[in-house]
Every structure is written in C-alpha cells, then in structure tokens.
Amino acid sequence: MPMWVALANGGKMRGQSRTGDAVVRIVKCRHGGDVSMSSMQLNWDIFCRVIDNYGDIGICWRLARQLAREHGKRVRLWVDDLQSLRPLCPEVDLALATQCRQGVNIVHWIEPVAVDSVGDVIIEAFACELPAPWIAAMATATEKPCWINLEYLTAESWADGCHGMASPHPALPLVKHFFFPGFSSATGGLLRERNLLTMRDAEGTGCVASETLEVSLFCYESAPVAALIDILMDSPMPVHLHVAPGQPAAAVASKLGSAGPWQGGNLSVLPFEFLPQDEYDRLLWRCNVNFVRGEDSFVRAQWAAQPFVWQPYRQADDAHLEKLDAFLARYVAGMSANCATVAVDLFQAWNSKGDLRQAWHDFLAVRSEIASYNRCWAESLAGKPDLADALVKFCSSKV
C-alpha cells in the first residue's frame, strides 16, 4: 500500500496539524502502522533583518531559494527591508506585504507581527531576534519547531566547538541551536547549490584566452581603492576593473571624479549596475582576480576558483583581522611556501597592513599557480556537505 499524507487544507485527516496549513504529523506507511512525520519538516520560516547592506539578505535569499528548489521545502522569508532584496531579486514588488518569487514566499517583516502559522523550522538569521508573539506561538505549539540561530561565517577554531550547541529558553519550553557555517567538517559548511560547479565549468568551456586582465571590485569604503587604481593604471597589460555599485563605485568616483566609465593608462574602469546573484556568480567566474568582501561574495569567490582577495567586515578593536588571519591559516596551508607568502601579503595589504603595490606585483607573478590551487581548494570544500543540506539533516535530527 503506498504511503499517503493527509494535509490540513484538505484530504483524509489522520492526526492533528500544528496550525494553519502545516503538514499533519501522522502518516500511513506501506508496512502498516503510524510513524511521525516530524523528519519531513516541510514548512520553514527564515527571519532576516538587513544590517550590512546586502550581506545578510544575500545569504538568506540564497538559502531560501536552495531549500525550496533542492529540498522541496515551503519557505517563508521574512525581511524587514524589501528594498535591499530587490536588487538580488528584481521581480520583488515593494508595495506587497506578501508575494511568491522564485519558489519562496516573501513576507515584509513589519511590527506588529500577526502569527498565522509557525513553521516546522524557524531560522533566526544572525541573531536578529524573533518577534515576541512568534516566540510565544512557538512555545504553545503542540509540536515544538526546530529553532536555529544561523551565525556568521568564521574560520576561527572556536566555531567548531560551538556549532550545534543548544541554548534552552530561560522561561519557555523551547531550545535554540547555534548553527555555524564554516570550512571544516565540524561546522555546517558553506552554501553551494548542487549544480554550481558544473555550471561554472560549463561557462568556461570554449572561452578564448585574453591578454586583458579582468578584475572585479566589491569592497567596503575603508579599502585602499585609490591606491589600487594608481597601481592598475601603471599595469604593463590592459586591465578591465569591473566596479560594483554602492561603496566601491563611490570610492572610485572619489578618486577619478564623475560617474564613469574611466580610462587611464592601460586601465579601463567599468562600473556595473547591481546584479542578481546568479549573474554576479558569472562575473566572478569570468574575472581573473576578484576583490570581495563580507561573507556572501567571499564564499562565491571561492566557488569561482579564481584568485581572490578578501576584505572582512570591519569590527571594533580590529577583531576582523583575527578572522582574516584564521581564514588565511586554513586557506594557504596547502600552497607552496612562496605562493602562501604572496597570498598572505596581498590579503594583509588590502586590509591596510602592508605595501599594496609590491604585494600586487608579487601576486601577479604567481597568479596562474594560485588559480590552479584555488580550483583544488574549491573541490576540497565541495567534498564537505553544503550548508543547506547540513541544515536539513541537522534539524531532522533534533525533533
């Protein structure tokens, strides 16, 4: 007898749903008897407050799409700033309180929040703090949801020990688990769609080698952009610098004036409009060197397998430099001694700790070797579970 599921919005009931259109918790299996459906966890709510431009929402949007497309989840993405989501998903209508885009239900998160139903899994992205009525509804649900605090990415070793830690609520019958993205098998891994590397490699098939150096620039306002432009203008080879909107474009305009594009020496500076995430991935694949920042573009540059330079988000007391050092220790561990020194020097110089001109000169000299290494680095990371898959498995084990 085939397995069947009764849904709360119709069909034969064999149990009681938690609320709304949630999946009924009882299933009749082909071997007879009743089994819990908690492991299916079809309904996911992801909450995101936009703090750092597009970083937080960029990660949440990638995760929401992947959970819907690859894992068949019904995902609601709650975001307090639809304007920040729109460049990533141009079809978003800013006037709508709720809308479905690319398989994800998007909800404009405004207070007060009316709780109509609580998902099987609740993701509190980057400690954004759930609305009090939502927590109260979670606490009174017959089947308690799996509550996840999705943390920021770090290569620091302490994250390995904190990943998966439980934090019982002090007053309610709820437990929140901390979920850390990361570079080791002891963490939750990195966001990676199942066909990403295949698509990357297909994109590069048949491309004609060019003597022009293609460079993408996505950085914070503290990056030494003016110094980089001076260096690239003196380049012996043609350079195309593709400049992202926002802080990178503003930094370039401050140096060169007007709105661009600009030409100086062998350098062509080419500003581009904000790209949806899939198009930004393709830009990273096409470029020979990618300057990236924060978390989302940082991870995507590693999947691109091209040489890259990272600027972490600036923190008080230079705590971001500890994150930089922790990543570099992991990243260069398999490099030749010379490449490791060169890579570290450029990363440090881009973060205001060294001679940028000399570091860039040395980096170009070993660029091909670093590109080969980065392909191996990406393959190594891809050998670990991706973050969405790890989240699904982790949550199913906690019910």
Q: Catalytic amino acids?
A: 56, 295
Q: Which residues on adjacent β-strands are paired with residue 261? A: none
The amino acid present at 75, given as its one-letter code, is V
Structure tokens at 363: 């980096």
Distance of CA 269 to CAs 232, 274, 298, 320, 350, Å? 10, 16, 22, 29, 19
| Residue 176: exposure state from Cβ atoms within 10 A (0-12, 13-18, ≥19) | buried
How many Cβ atoms from other residues are within 10 Å of residue 332's Cβ? 20
Q: Is the dihedral of CA 78, 79, 83, 86 positive or negative?
A: negative
Structure tokens at 121: 């899994």
Distance of CA 170 to CAs 167, 173, 174, 193, 329, Å? 9, 8, 9, 37, 38
Task: Give the separation between CA 73 and CA 71, rounded to whole angstroms.
Answer: 6
- Of the candidates 282, 326, 288, 276, the one whose C-alpha atom is nearest the C-alpha of residue 300 is 282
Q: Which residues on adjacent β-strands are paired with residue 176? A: 147, 167
Helix 277-286 crosses helix 55-71 at what angle (to 10 degrees)?
Answer: 100
Q: Answer yes or no: are the C-beta atoms of 77 and 64 closer than 8 Å.
A: yes
Q: 34-36 and 23-28: which strand pairing?
A: antiparallel
Could you tell me if residue 206 is left (phi over 0), alpha (psi between -120 and 50 degrees) or otherwise beta? left
Task: Give the separation between CA 328 and CA 326, rounded to whole angstroms.
Answer: 6
